[in-house]
Each structure stands twice: as structure tokens, then as C-alpha cells.
Structure 1
């Protein structure tokens, strides 16, 4: 217990703890929309396409996260545009932007002078190296997401469950689509340092899958997703510290284990209820 308390005396651990909280809030909120809307693979396409922005950022000497944010948002818009206006199948559109982003990232990183020392932290995450600036950006994103979902909750709900019905009622479906795809892109980029490009999709889906075991209500699912995401992130952070393994992989492993435990709990509870009803 003393060792755990001592961890809170280190700035890097406190920063990582705050990053876990803000990642849980942002991914819990936007991930619920992603899962409900069934656009998990769209999010995966944006995630990998953002690597192109990281490569361009390195090449131009800019912050790679800035390049990733711009490229991720443009990729999200591109997937939407190709699918709606270009009449390209959604899976094909995702594949186009996914492969384009990865290819551009590899090319520009290769062309950039010197060595890209922090590249692995973008691919696999490094929550212990999250900076104060990144924490403020994650805080701002969490606030923006809460405000957007509070102001447009009913519209977002209609679009998430039945887009065609939302259109017939005159709701601004296209505006909501482009707004939320932009927020998904920014959420992905700002949480790359937590679990990395390779694993970020899990942070957008695993807490939601766990929450979905207990509720079908959209609002309750969001709240539970935030709680499960933070529980998994914090536990994974501690697990990585004691076992001395990469934090990103540890967080995802813990989230999977949490889902498994909750699934077993739900099955046992259901079985006991059935036996008690006899």
C-alpha cells in the first residue's frame, strides 16, 4: 500500500492518472456513439490514417499530434464524402484512407532528416510521457464533448439509432455527422499517447461492450463506459508499473479482463435469478 501512495508523489504518475481520467471521459462518450452507430471500422480507418499526419509533422518539424489531428479530421471527412457523394462503398472508402494515411506516414518519416525517436510511443502508447499541454488539450476535449452531447443529445440519439428517420424529421443529419466524425478524429489523436494507434480502437469499444452487458440506455451506457474505461485504465497503469510492461498494452489487457469478469458476473447473476424464480 505504501508503494501505491508513493507513486502519487511522482509528477509523471499524476499526469498519467489525469490522462487516464480524461481518456475515459472522451472515449467513453464518443465511443458510445461509435458503437451505437456501428461505425467502429470507420473509426479504425481514421485511426490508422492519422499516421500520415504524424509523418508529415515529423517531416515539417511540427508537433506530430498537430499533423495527426489535421489528417485524421480530413480522413474522416473524406470517408464520409467518398461514401455519400462519390458512391464508394463504405468499406472501400475506409480502406482507401486507411492505406493512404499509412503510406504517407511511412514515406514522410523515411524522408525526414535524422531519427524519429518517439515513433513507438505513437504506435503503442506511452501514457507516462503525457505532457502538461496534452493534458490541457484532453481536458478541453472532454469539456467540448460533454457540452456537445448535452446540447444536441436528442439529435445525436436519433442519428445514432435511425439516420433515415432523423432525416425525415428535418434534423441537420449531415451537420451532426461531420461534427461527430471530427470529434471522433480529435478524440483518437489526443488519446494516441495513452494506448497508441494500434490499440486506440479498443479504448473506443471495450468499455462500451462492458457497459452494454448491463444497459441498453444510451445515456446510462455513456456513464458506465466512462467508469469502466477509467477503472481499466487506472488498473492497467498500476499493472504495467508493477510488472514492468508497456502501459498501452497493459491498459487494453486490463479492459479485456474487466469485460471477461463482468460477463461472468452477469451470467452467474442471471443463473441465480433463474434458480431463485423456480
Structure 2
């Protein structure tokens, strides 16, 4: 035990490890806040679809040689979130089909563009491209390459997300539980749905370096699902979801450091373990009431 603590102490002397922990906890906080709303509104698919769109936008930025790829990734992901949200029952392509088309299409086109760029004389081999794609999809090493600028950007984005959630908490609560009633009472439900979609897009973009684009939706959904196994009120579920998400992010980063496993996959694995634990707790509580 003392040797393990000593190893952790040595690792945390390095700034990039501290950066990874700070960014990880901030992203875990933001994703857990909106995850409850997405699960209850059955919008869980949006996180997965937008993460693939972000990967495609990242590939375009890489191919075109844009240094600050956020100039492409952020607006493209936000626009896609708005388009997916506005895909309603009056369109020929239903919401779930639209998400499938956009996510799979963006993923395939992004990988194809990166391979074409590698073969056209950019100096990067196919193995280099495969490593970049793996890192982007699964967050294998990119969380450990964060700069101080990345950390401050994440802090600023996190402050915005948390502030938006707290300021509009009552409206988000109303839209989440009964959108029709909210509209009847004068709440502009469409505007708040749009706000939720934009905030989720921002979270996904800043989380790409953390767990990778394929695992972002797990980070958003699993803490909410775990909390809902035990708690019933909206506020209790959110608080529990935040605690679970922070715990899994911190433990995942620490385990990945000690065991040498990919950060993103380790965090999601921790989320899965906690989910099954809460399922067991829920089963025990139901049997205790009988």
C-alpha cells in the first residue's frame, strides 16, 4: 500500500498528470449534470451521434492543416446538435435514423479523409494515422498531452456549463419531466431543448481528449443510469450522478496510472462496475420493502 502511494506521489509531481486529473474531474462534473436530463428525455442517442460528428470534424481540421481544430470542431458539433434536435416526427427521416446516418457517416468520412491525407504525401504513414485515430476514438494517450492552455479552456467551458445548468435549473426540470405541460404554462420548451443540445455539444468537444469520441456517451449516460437505480427525485439523482461521475473519473485515472491501462477505457469500466453495484443495491432495497 505504501509503495502504491509512493508511486502515485511520484507521478503527481509531473504537471501533465495533474492537468489530466483536473480536466477529468471537470468533464465528469459537466457530463453528469446533463446526463440525467438526456436519459429522462430519451435523448441518450444524441451524445453518441455528436461524438462521431466531432471526430469527423477533427479529421477535416487535420486534413486541412488547421492548427486550432476547435475552430471547426466546436461550430460543426453545435450545428449538428441543433439539426438533430429539430429532427421531428414531421420529417421523412426520423430522429433515430438521422442520428445513425450522421454518426456513422461522420465516422467513416473522417477515417477516410485521414487515410487519404496520409497517402497524398503529408509524411505520415498509415500506422501513424491508425495511432491518431485510436487515440481520438478511445482517448488512449491524448489526456496526458494536455497543456496549461487546454486546462484553462476546460475550466472556462466548465464554468459556463455549470452556470447555465444552475441558472436554468427550474426550466430544465420542467422540460425534462413534462414538456407538454411546460409549454402550456408558458415555458419556451424548444429554446431550452436547444440550450441542452448546445451544452451537450460543448461537453462532447472538450471531452474528446479525455475519454475519446467513442466513449463520451458512456461518460454522460452511465452515472445517470446508476443514480436512477436507487434515487427517484430529480435533485437526488443529479447529486448522486455527480458524485458517481467524479469518483469514477478520479479512480479511473489513478488505476490507469498504476496499471498502465488506457485512461478513457478505465474510467468507463469503473462506471460500468458502479452501475452493476447500484443495480444490486436497488435489488436489495426492493426486496427489503416486500
Equivalent-residue separation in structure 2 for 1:224 and 1:141 (angstroms): 22
1:227 aligns with: 243
Equivalent-residue separation in structure 1 for 2:218 and 2:256 (angstroms): 17
Q: Give the CA RMSD over aligned residues.
A: 2.1
How far is the alpha carbon of 1:6 from its aligned partner? 2.4
Which consecutive unaligned segments of at least 5 residues does structure 2 have?
A: none
Equivalent-residue separation in structure 1 for 2:54 and 2:90 (angstroms): 22
How far is the alpha carbon of 1:265 from its aligned partner? 3.6
2:86 aligns with: 81
Q: 2:133 aligned with 1:119, yes or no?
A: yes
2:148 aligns with: 132
Per-residue CA deviation, residues 130-166 of structure 1 (Å, 9 max, x unaligned), is: 2322222221222112211222111111111122222
1:236 aligns with: 252
What SS class does the counterpart of residue 118 from structure 1 fall into?
helix
Equivalent-residue separation in structure 1 for 2:77 and 2:190 (angstroms): 18
2:114 aligns with: 109
Q: What is the correspondence of 1:1-278 to structure 2 with a 5 Å cutoff?
A: 1-62=5-66, 63-83=68-88, 86-112=91-117, 113-115=122-124, 116=129, 118-125=132-139, 126=141, 127-268=143-284, 271=287, 273-274=288-289
Equivalent-residue separation in structure 2 for 1:85 and 1:19 (angstroms): 40
The 1:107/1:214 distance shift into structure 2, 3 A limit, reads same
Equivalent-residue separation in structure 2 for 1:64 and 1:105 (angstroms): 14
TM-score, normalised by the number of residues in structure 1: 0.90
Equivalent-residue separation in structure 2 for 1:5 and 1:263 (angstroms): 34
TM-score, normalised by the number of residues in structure 2: 0.86
Which consecutive unaligned segments of at least 5 residues does structure 1 have?
A: none
Per-residue CA deviation, residues 36-81 of structure 1 (Å, 9 max, x unaligned), is: 2110112211111222211111022223344222221111112123
Equivalent-residue separation in structure 2 for 1:7 and 1:268 (angstroms): 40
Equivalent-residue separation in structure 1 for 2:123 and 2:90 (angstroms): 41
- Which shifted more, 89-98 or 186-195? 89-98
Equivalent-residue separation in structure 1 for 2:151 and 2:99 (angstroms): 30
8 Å CA contact 1:53–1:70 kept in 2: the answer is: no
Equivalent-residue separation in structure 1 for 2:235 and 2:75 (angstroms): 30
- Which shifted more, 192-201 or 261-270? 261-270
Equivalent-residue separation in structure 1 for 2:84 and 2:285 (angstroms): 42
What SS class does the counterpart of residue 38 from structure 1 fall into?
coil
Equivalent-residue separation in structure 2 for 1:3 and 1:124 (angstroms): 25
The 1:269/1:7 distance shift into structure 2, 3 A limit, reads farther
